[in-house]
Amino acid sequence: MQQPARAETYRSWLIGELVLVGMLALATLALALADRLDGYALPQARLALDTVVAVVATIVAVLAAIRFLVEGRLLDLLLAAGFLVASIGTFAFDVAPRLGGRPLPPLEARAALVAAVLSAALIAAAAFSSRRISARRRALLVGTVIVLIVMPALWGTLALVGEHGALVADTGERAPAVVLSLGTLSLLAVVAAIGFGLRFRRHGRDLDRWLALALTLVVAADLHYVLAPTYSSEYVLQGDFLRLLAYGVLLVGVWRAISQAEFGRAVAEERARVATEIHDGLAQYLFALSTHVSMLEAGAPLEEALPRLKQAAIAAQQEARFAVLALSSASGIAPFDAALRRYVDFLAADGVLEVELDIDPAVSLAPDEQIELFRIVQEGLANARRHAGARRAWVAIEQRGSRRVVIVRDDGIGFEGDEGGAGQGLRNMRRRAAAIDGGFSMHSSPGRGTSIEVVLRAV
């Protein structure tokens, strides 16, 4: 059942669509009765209009492809393919042959019409597609290759048929094939407009509304072509202006849709990042709290378990503050140096690893840098304790000229190669450094410990 707000939005849009359809129908009827559908003999203006349409079709195809890479909807893949066909068909078969003031050859004119029908069919199919595709890059590459193969094959097929005298007629003569092609274009545009209107009713997506509006204009443009006494590259018809307006509406609609898709992806990525922060930090301390409570229940001495329980609770509280910091762009919620010192005290409390911490108070860190650096230091010290068997570790955050540098060093056993026994941990640190545009380097050798350095972006 539709929500009241969505139903009201759809109702308002439908009324506007019906008004637009009525106005376009009345205008077309008035022009037909006044015998004004023959257009104007302006070959250069027609060439300019077709060039603009081809350029806009290319832009719409690219934007639809980008949106497909973001959301993976078959709808966007078909739209990208449809407008790519329209772009190539217009450039190759309509614009290029007329450069230099030459008339459009009949073969190229027919190829342009067939390409337009193929484009309209793909767009109409998009209106009724609902699948998602997981292998997005591969699907987009395959779709692009198919289009690039089909278009030359289309021209070659028409050229082959043309050698035997078929389909090669003066397009200004209103040949049956031309009338059939234009009628098919009108029918496909009607189907697509209805399809996207139904999608808007069902899902309430902004893109469907814009597509339905643009296709309504395309229907009117195609009807002008069907009713016009001639169809020639030498004439500018009223339908050409409607087609140009339709492509402008398409450009605005797809641009708005891709902006919304990028915003949605950014929100999803931010949620995933915060979930990772909670999993990597707070969950560990809560597990430590649970462990200490279990030890108490098992009869562990209170004087030993209680201080550790208190330390774990304090650390968990600090982690909770960092989780809040991950949700906020405001700094100062949890001072970085205090949080890091508290973590180091907690880590070194059992005497297994001695940590020396040196933070230059002049170094300023952005909120995202605070979060990622806290995790990098945390991972580095954990590796020193678990894998390197280190007794001592050093952490320094300092200013070197114009560079801000973070160093985590230990006196552990070291290792040969790139990752040693803590490969996933080092990969995580590299990923976190890259997330804040920082440079990451690691140096280690057997018996000489490990040193990790992060060079932060310039401020």
Residues 112-147: pLDDT tens digits? Answer: 888 999 999 999 999 998 888 878 889 999 999 999
Please tell me the predicted confidence (pLDDT) of residue 260. Answer: 62
Q: What is the dihedral of CA 88, 90, 96, 99, to 10 degrees?
A: -160
Could you tell me the pTM of the whole model?
0.56
Q: What single letter denotes the amino acid at residue 94?
A: D
Please tell me the predicted confidence (pLDDT) of residue 169. Answer: 39
Phi and psi at residue 130, in whole multiples of 5°?
-135, 0
Q: What single letter denotes the amino acid at residue 267?
A: V
Alpha-carbon distance values, 18 to 6, 13, 14, 194, 304 (Å): 18, 9, 6, 12, 78
Please tell me the predicted confidence (pLDDT) of residue 187. Answer: 92
Contact partners, residue 156, CB within 8 Å, separation at least 6: none
Please tell me the predicted confidence (pLDDT) of residue 394. Answer: 93
Q: Which residue has the tokens 């809040």?
A: 324
Q: Which residue has the tokens 């309209």?
A: 120
Please tell me the predicted confidence (pLDDT) of residue 381. Answer: 87
Please tell me the predicted confidence (pLDDT) of residue 168. Answer: 34
Q: In the 3-class helix/strand/coil scheme, how is the chain assigned residue by residue?
A: CCCHHHHHHHHHHHHHHHHHHHHHHHHHHHHHHCCCCCCEECHHHHHHHHHHHHHHHHHHHHHHHHHHHHHCEHHHHHHHHHHHHHHHHHHHHHHHHHCCCCCCCHHHHHHHHHHHHHHHHHHHHHCCCCCECCCHHHHHHHHHHHHHHHHHHHHHHHHHHHCCCCCCCCHHHCCHHHHHHHHHHHHHHHHHHHHHHHHHHHHCCHHHHHHHHHHHHHHHHHHHHHHCCCCCCCEECHHHHHHHHHHHHHHHHHHHHHHHHHHHHHHHHHHHHHHHHHHHHHHHHHHHHHHHHHHHHCCCCHHHHHHHHHHHHHHHHHHHHHHHHHHCCCCCCCCHHHHHHHHHHHHCCCCCCEEEEEECCCCCCCHHHHHHHHHHHHHHHHHHHHCCCCCEEEEEEEEECCEEEEEEEECCCCCCCCCHHHHHHHHHHHHHHHHCCCEEEEEECCCCCEEEEEECCCC
Stretches where the chain sits below pLDDT 50 are: 1-2, 163-172, 266-267, 326-334, 420-421
- Using CA atoms, how far apart are residues 203 and 252, in angstroms rounded to an integer? 20
Residues 231-242: pLDDT tens digits? Answer: 677 777 777 888
